Chains A and B, each alone.
Chain A
Amino acid sequence: MDDLDEIIAEFLVESHENLDQLDSDLVALEQDPTSQDLLGSVFRTIHTIKGTTGFLGFGHLEALTHAGESLLSRLRDGELGLTAEITDALLMTVDAVRALLAAIEATGQEGAPDHAALIARLTRLQQGGSALGEVIVEHGGATPEDVTLAVTAQDVGDVRPIGEILVGQGSTTPAEVSLALEVQEERRSVADGSIRVDVERLDSLMRLIGELVLTRNQSVAHAAATRDATLIRASARLNLITRELQEVVLKMRMQPIDHVWNKLPRVIRDLSATCGKTVRLEMEGRETELDKTILEAVKDPLTHLVRNAIDHGIEPPEGRLAGGKDEQGLLLLRAFHEGGQVNIEVHDDGAGMDPSLIAAKALERGLVGGEQLARMSDREITNLIFLPGFSTAAAVTNVSGRGVGMDVVKSNLEKIGGAIDVSSVLGAGTTVHVKIPLTLAIVPALTVLCAGDRYAIPTVNLAQLVRLEGEQGRAGIELISGTPVHRLRGKLLPLVYLDHELGVTEPDRSERDAVLVVVLQVEDRRFGLVVDDILDTQEIVVKPLSSQLENVPVYAGATILGDGSAALILDVLALAQRARVLSAGRELAHGAAGHADDDRAKTRVALLVASVGQDRQVAIPLEEVTRLEELPADSIERVGNRELVQYRDEILPLVRLGGLPDDGVVAVVVCSTRGRSVGLVVDAIVDIVEGAGVLGTAVVRDRITELLDVERAVREVDPGFYDTPVASPGGRS
């Protein structure tokens, strides 16, 4: 008997712990009724208690927990949805179990409590929406009205199962009921047929698969060289099986993002209470799956973003009401798959971020220069918050720490190959976009050759491959402000020479007969990476770089190729940043849009296009153009090294943009800037088009066209032009 007492004591301790867990799980469940994690946890707890009570001979407890378990199993399998009524019943069950345990602890006996009503209630709820009834209805075995009738009968005390009642009512046949039961059992077993596996085992399985993939690559490469038909067949089969195996294992490691998200409602609840804000959480795409390792890695950054959104983003209720918004703030989490990556968005409808405040702070902290700021769009400025040492919180709060977290969030995400970007509309809210790879361990990659070495480029960044042959290669690459570009389908693609970026340039590049361009997409920009040769695509196993290379930013890792040699994996984002192509459009535009703001970039303006010289075109904002004139060449007068022309009772200085010799008449675009008129001599007026008023270059009529900054163009010819006092009384103002 002593042994049994010991077992009972142990059971009591264990059960009390379990019940505490159960309480908090049930409350959490109410907030997040579909969480498989919570449901699973609650189910297991009850199941454990039930199992032990049966063994110890506590009949009441067993009957009660059995009823609870049955109900939970329906919930867990998704056959029932959690309702407040069900939660109540489950909480009552927990209380009842607790009372029974207390009795056992005190007296060693269960006593004679009456839980029949609770058990009946649990049983009825279990029949609830009556999945069985529904299945029968689905199969046409009964009408929905029949089922409702049967459920009502149960409610008023009929203890028979729903199927029996239905048969008793004459609504259906026993055959229909047993068929429906089978269907139901099948549905249930899908959920039951799972086992728990130690993550470490999965990890080591993953490592082994990684080795297998490498060995596969080597063996396939070798087999292809042998021309041995049997070996080639066998290696093709090996190839196939390895890939399947890899997919299966990857799938095993996938978990819905909900595993991270379901911790958030609590975080948000507490946080909004602390901040005195009310926040409604919405989640979309909670079933989106990603690798467990990545899931772990995004947990903290994501929580940080959510905290930030509530602490800094969403305004206090009175502020929201004053701003004409709903008192309750909205926090929307979205997750979806796109192009082999997982996208996560954290959106709030709060105050948004004020670019001018961010710019001022960035300037104050010395993170950027004033000139640099002037060239940035609002979005670029907003993204300054990711710079180390930046904080937007006006006051330091205890919620988001000292606001130094965003750079950490960014670097943590980049560590796993992710990217982060923020967009915000002042007064309307902020959205943080996070992109992360599905899995880390094995990625498809393109191998390229550069200066004799092979490099791997993850295909997730790959947009397209372009081969420019011979003459086309030379003609297809143009220089704009010193930046090589290629015109691809009407868009300008900045080019980056990999050998040049890596400092391994070989002298004989001009000798090459074809130019190979790997078009890469980073964030929303594209650039072309010029390589010596494009080899193939293969699955590579990403291996970490040694600490000696931590400070070399252009590599994402290393891998082992089919021949057993090591190859570096290029970090496309870092490469683009290094080559400064991420902001290339702006770099090129700096002449034209020195202080253009973002609004101007969005509005399309009319542009006058003129040809100047053999292959050059310039576009002049039409609003700056006063008139177009054709003047006789001999009316041009020279004063010193300046050219002037008598024009409408005033003296118009001329600035030559075109390089062609005059043939009797010159085409002059009369522009007016800063109260001064100037005549720009061009070769011909080509067209008037609509275009963005900010981009440095655009393709107009198949020609690369530079947007002209009139003032700058004039200064280039005559640096002091605007500094001298207005010479003519007729000067425009």
Chain B
Amino acid sequence: MSLTTFFVNGYLFGIEVATVQEVIRYQPMTRVPLAPPALSGLINLRGQIIAAVDLRRRLGFPDRAAGELPMDVVVRTGDGMVSLLVDRIGDVVEVSEEAFEEPPDTLVGIARELIRGAYKLDDALLLSLDVQGAVELRPVGGGSGTPAPASM
């Protein structure tokens, strides 16, 4: 199986090549007030408006340092295209099922929920990301009636 790999907070993640629409350099975004914090904004991808989900926030990692621009990994999901913001893009890696194992114990919390498992590579551990889970964002605050907290 081929995985597209990328780095988030020093970890190496991989998603199936087939789910990746394209990888593009950082796109200016329109922020969306009141949206879940992991939703960084909206980008215009050739006339289509897609949401950008910051994987650092989604996985509960600290924010990128100011001035560091993420990259957009545009993936196809059940609800259309979504851009995943990652720190850096890696190679396409061929993995075998024998190398698959449980996620490492160092991963805790939400990050652990969104990791299916890990592939042991020669020089690193490749974490298999649950793409569908990663792009499903829980709403913040209550319904329309309650004043939601400022998210940005």
Q: A residues within 8 Å of B by Cβ?
A: 211, 214, 453-454, 502-505, 543, 545-549, 551-555, 558-560, 564-568, 574, 577-578
Contact = CB atoms under 8 A, between A and B. Distances in A.
B127 interface: no
By size class, the interface of chain B is 35 or more
Nearest to B144: A553
A705 B30 CA distance: 43
Contacts of A546: 42, 49-51, 79-80, 82
B53 interface: yes
A564 B53 CA distance: 20
A494 B12 CA distance: 52
B60 interface: no
Nearest to B53: A548
B150 A548 contact: no
Nearest to B141: A551
Contacts of B28: 565
Contact of A548 (B44, B137, B143, B144): B137
A505 B47 CA distance: 30
B36 A568 contact: no
Contacts of B80: 546-547
Given A502-B34, A546-B82, A560 B151 contact: no
A566 B31 CA distance: 9
A480 to B, nearest CB: 20
17 contacts: A211-B47, A454-B30, A503-B33, A545-B49, A545-B51, A546-B79, A548-B39, A548-B53, A553-B144, A558-B42, A559-B49, A560-B44, A564-B44, A565-B30, A566-B42, A566-B43, A568-B32
A549 B148 CA distance: 14
Contact of B42 (A211, A551, A568): A568
Nearest to B48: A543
Given A560-B47, A566-B42, 17 more contacts: A453-B30, A453-B33, A454-B30, A502-B33, A503-B151, A504-B152, A543-B49, A545-B49, A546-B42, A547-B80, A551-B139, A552-B34, A554-B34, A558-B42, A560-B49, A565-B30, A574-B144
A380 to B, nearest CB: 15
B44 A549 contact: no
A137 B43 CA distance: 67
Interface in B64-89: 79-80, 82
B31 A453 contact: yes
Contact of B34 (A453, A503, A543, A564): A503
B144 A549 contact: no
Contacts of B139: 551-552
Given A560-B49, A565-B28, A566-B44, A548 B147 contact: no
A565 B44 contact: yes
Nearest to A580: B145
Interface residues of B, dominant DSSP:
loop
A351 to B, nearest CB: 31
B149 interface: yes
A483 to B, nearest CB: 14
A554 B41 CA distance: 15
B59 interface: no
Nearest to A214: B47
A200 B53 CA distance: 33
A562 to B, nearest CB: 12
Q: Which has the most chain A C-beta neighbours within 10 Å: B29, B32, B82, B149?
A: B32
Contacts of B136: 547-548
Nearest to B39: A548
Contacts of B33: 453, 502-504
A553 B147 CA distance: 11
A492 to B, nearest CB: 22
B118 interface: no
Contacts of A543: 48-49
Nearest to B45: A566
Q: Which has the most chain B C-beta neighbours within 10 Å: A211, A546, A552?
A: A546
Contacts of B36: 548
Contact of A578 (B51, B53, B79, B144): B144
Interface in B13-68: 28-36, 39, 41-44, 47-51, 53
A546 B30 CA distance: 14
Contact of A567 (B30, B79, B135): B30
A64 B136 CA distance: 65
A568 B42 CA distance: 9
A358 to B, nearest CB: 20
B144 to A, nearest CB: 4
Given A547-B79, A549-B32, A578 B47 contact: no
In the A-B complex, the 10 residue pairs with the closest CB atoms: A503-B150, A551-B139, A502-B33, A547-B79, A546-B51, A553-B144, A566-B42, A566-B30, A558-B49, A548-B137
A543 B32 CA distance: 15
A559 B49 CA distance: 8
Given A549-B39, A553-B144, A503 B48 contact: no
A549 B31 CA distance: 12
Contacts of B50: 546
Contacts of A502: 33-34
Given A558-B49, A574-B144, A504 B150 contact: yes
Q: Which has the most chain B C-beta neighbours within 10 Å: A503, A505, A567?
A: A503
Given A546-B79, A547-B80, A568-B32, A503 B51 contact: no
A558 B80 CA distance: 15
B2 to A, nearest CB: 27
Contacts of A504: 33, 150, 152
Q: Which has the most chain A C-beta neighbours within 10 Å: B29, B49, B135, B136?
A: B49
A577 B79 CA distance: 28
Contacts of A577: 144-145
B30 A568 contact: yes
Contacts of B47: 211, 214, 560
A385 to B, nearest CB: 18
Contacts of B152: 503-504
A566 B49 contact: yes
A453 B33 CA distance: 10
A560 B28 CA distance: 13
B126 to A, nearest CB: 26
A360 to B, nearest CB: 22
Contacts of A552: 32, 34-35, 139
